[in-house]
Amino acid sequence: MRILDSTPPPTQQHAVSSLFVRLYVGLILAMLLIAGGVVATLSLLEAQRAARYREAVLSAPMQLMAEGVARHAGEERQRWIDIAARLLTSELRVETTPQPPSELVVERMGEQQHRARLALPGSDNEQLVLLFQNWTEQQWRATTFLLLNELGRLPAGEQREALQRIADRLPYPLRHLGLDEVDLDPRQRERIAAGEVVMQIEWRDGGRPSTRFFAPYGERGDVLAVGPVPSLGPLPASTVLMLIVAAALAFSGVAVWAIRTLERRLQHIDRALARFGASDFELGELGPASPDAIGRLAQTTHRMAGRIRSLLRSQQELVQGISHDLRTPVARVRLRLELLQADASQQERIAGIRRDLDELESLIDAAITYSRLDEGGIVLASQPIDVAQELRAVVQDQRVLARDIELSTDLQVPARPLAADRALLRRAVQNLLGNALRHARSRVEVELREAVSGIRIAIEDDGPGVPESQRERIFEPFSRLDESRSKASGGYGLGLAIVRRIAERHGGRIACGAARLGGARFELELPWGIASAHSPAHP
């Protein structure tokens, strides 16, 4: 005995593992790319925030310095530039250019080097250029001195208006306060009295620090308060969360796309196999060829389908050959029986042999019919059928076999004709009705009703019935029950199998249940059209 090993061969196992390795590697690469995209986006957003922050911080000092440089000329201008550069601890110069920027431009020149440019007021070809690394406390102190210088050059009566005008251009507060209006410790007050600029760091509710600068202003001991100036701080949590959600959605999209691609390829094979079993055993297209595990599965499926078709052809040829070979000796036996008709003493035996021959021919015919239905060799000839009329004709033909059995009908004429193969429909009803007559004790009923999407033919008897555990098995070929329902009635177990094949070829179904009369009830449901099994029914 040959034992079949269900373990996949090493090449198939390797192909499957290779497929999933590629899937996992692809998902990991996608995750890395998405993570890289998130990091790059965060870096870009951070760079844009930093650029906007530098522009906001530099707008006031650059404007003040440009106005200051424009007010001087010659050596005085250069001396003013040198003083401002020392205060800023940065390089400051005036350059000639065809198109100086009328608004502040801050450019990144290197890893930490930046350049700020602004056109000098009243000049068409000169711009003030500031080269700096980071805007630190020293630059903020210099900004405060520039503000004091701008106010100090004006008469006392004009300073309040100038202060308001400058404050309106700044992105942070600028106010003139009394010393008692600010919260400074004694050391800071001493530094204010000594003419120094004092820095104070505050922490807001959001956790971001802000800076305030206080410089002595006026002759009454007042101060010029600059700020609070908020620090750049980290990216908002909502922005980071939005990027994380976007990355998760992108990765989910990639994963779904990859899995759906595999699923679609498997669905190609699934649909092809469904068509293979429901049609004439032609497999059709299995999707694009590929060297991976699914491609190998498609190739194996093609080979399997070819072997199945070959086996079915061999089976059909065998059945047809045996049937043909059996018909010849049966015909010869019948001929010899005709020759023996003259012997009156042998009439009873001759009648018995003739009955046996009839059963043998019936078996041969049933076997050929089932084989052709099972293999798909019968092409359905669809035509409009008056089902009620067909049932009446079959019942009338079967009445001669009814013996002492009451055969009644309850036929509801359908609203429209049924599109089906007339010969196969008649064969199915004959098999069901003949089966009921063989097993009935005294009564058989035939019923016709409209179903949800077609018609339902029900035939029931008052015989011994079919056990619930056997109601599916009786539709298998050559299946015979051990109960009295089979023993007393003969038959070879192909009649109901043929009915099931006819129902399936029409897209319908056959079922067995308990009858109201006490025996078995068989219900044959057929759609309005043959194509209903695979497409919408046609009228």
pLDDT tops 50 at residue 538: no
pLDDT grade, residue 289 (50/70/90)? low
Q: What are phi and psi of 424, to 5 degrees?
A: -70, -40
Give Cα 109 distance to the centre of its chain: 48
Which residue from 104, 88, 183 is spatially nearest to 138, judged by alpha carbons?
88
Cβ partners under 8 Å of residue 492, min gap 6: 363, 366, 478, 480
CA distance readout (Å), 103 to 100, 106, 118, 126, 128: 9, 10, 6, 13, 11
Residue 204: what pLDDT? Answer: 65
CA distance readout (Å), 169 to 106, 173, 237, 244: 18, 10, 30, 37
Structure tokens at 163: 């202060």
pLDDT grade, residue 62 (50/70/90)? confident
pLDDT grade, residue 298 (50/70/90)? confident
Residue 511: what pLDDT? Answer: 93
Cβ partners under 8 Å of residue 443, min gap 6: 405, 406, 408, 461, 462, 517
pLDDT grade, residue 449 (50/70/90)? very high
pLDDT in tens, 236-272: 778 888 888 888 888 888 888 888 888 887 877 777 7
Residue 167: what pLDDT? Answer: 82
Structure tokens at 26: 């692809």
Distance CA 357, CA 442 (A): 28
Distance CA 95, CA 178 (A): 41
Three-class HEC string of 127-173? EEEEEECCCCHHHHHHHHHHHHHHHHCCCHHHHHHHHHHHHHHCCCC
Q: What are phi and psi of 279, to 5 degrees?
A: -120, -140
pLDDT tops 80 at residue 81: yes
Q: What's the whole-model pTM score?
A: 0.47
Among 50-64, 237-251, 351-365, 439-453, name the most confident range: 439-453
Structural domains of the chain, ranges and CATH numbers in brackets: 18-135 (no CATH), 138-146+168-235 (no CATH), 260-377 (1.10.287), 379-481+491-531 (3.30.565.10)
% of the chain at pLDDT higher than 90: 11
